[in-house]
Chains A and B, each alone.
Chain A
Amino acid sequence: TQLLEQSPQFLSIQEGENLTVYCNSSSVFSSLQWYRQEPGEGPVLLVTVVTGGEVKKLKRLTFQFGDARKDSSLHITAAQPGDTGLYLCAGSNTGNQFYFGTGTSLTVIP
């Protein structure tokens, strides 16, 4: 059962452009994580959001958790080739299971 839907699935943009990736669910989560995965490696945690409406910034990356804690977005400002990778969202509740989205594959062209 895939509880989290990510869009778009693929994104190819020019260096310097802005972009937003969405992670949507019909379920409420107590926390939501964003990961970036590079080819041949495991996912690396970028951020965790836990409060409805929360906004966190990590350099040029801005993460937002929806007010109802069912959705989240990742906005990248002035994308760089180093941002290329697979972006995954994952929701968790008080149990031990994490539910991953299908991922957004981002390519930033120099």
Chain B
Amino acid sequence: NAGVTQTPKFQVLKTGQSMTLQCAQDMNHNSMYWYRQDPGMGLRLIYYSASEGTTDKGEVPNGYNVSRLNKREFSLRLESAAPSQTSVYFCASSDASGSYNEQFFGPGTRLTVL
């Protein structure tokens, strides 16, 4: 079991460029999440997907789009990158069918926008 995997691990973009961050989980979880982590700000939710075919905005969705491609994969797209999107991005998954949720995180993608 690989758990939650993310690609790429590092990325440098120029302002205005686009890119897609990939995430996959092999735990058969229904729910998947994208967070960004900035110094002193903790983890902030960008988007989440409660199940295949559904997506919802989190706390900081502006400038991002997501696709829940199937139960395993959840991608995050930056259409026109801005320096304010420099951050570490984490994907997570959880099995929301139980009595309480527990999240499992990927290793992160470190993105710098110049």
Binding site for B on A (CB under 8 A): 1-2, 9, 30-31, 33, 35, 40-45, 48, 50, 88, 90, 92, 96-98, 100-103
* Bound Cα distance A20, B34 (Å): 30
CB of B28, distance to nearest CB on chain A (Å): 16
- Cross-interface CB contact of B58 among A31, A41, A44, A97, cutoff 8 Å: A97
Q: Which residue of B lies closest to A103 (CB)?
A: B42
- Whether a CB of chain A sits under 8 angstroms from the CB of B25 is no
User: Helix, strand, loop or mixed for chain A's interface?
Assistant: loop
* Bound Cα distance A101, B100 (Å): 19
Binding site for A on B (CB under 8 A): 4, 31, 33, 35, 40-45, 48, 50, 56, 58-59, 90, 92, 94, 96, 99-108
5 contacts between A and B (CB under 8 A): A92-B101, A96-B31, A98-B33, A100-B42, A100-B43
Q: Which residue of B lies closest to A32 (CB)?
A: B100
CB of A36, distance to nearest CB on chain B (Å): 11
**A90 contacts which chain B residues (CB < 8 A)?**
43, 103
Q: Which 6 A-B pairs have the closest CB atoms?
A: A42-B105, A31-B100, A100-B43, A102-B42, A100-B42, A96-B50
**B45 contacts which chain A residues (CB < 8 A)?**
97-98
Contact A42 B100 (CB under 8 A): no
With A96-B96, A97-B58 already in contact, the answer to whether A43 and B90 are too (CB < 8 A) is yes
Q: Which residue of B lies closest to A1 (CB)?
A: B59
* Bound Cα distance A101, B101 (Å): 17
Contact B99 A43 (CB under 8 A): no
Contact B41 A102 (CB under 8 A): yes
* Bound Cα distance A18, B4 (Å): 33
Further 11 A-B residue pairs, CB within 8 A, beyond A31-B100, A33-B103: A9-B40, A40-B108, A42-B4, A42-B90, A42-B92, A43-B90, A96-B48, A97-B45, A98-B45, A100-B35, A102-B42
Q: Which residue of A lies closest to B104 (CB)?
A: A45
- Cross-interface CB contact of B102 among A33, A40, A97, A100, cutoff 8 Å: A33
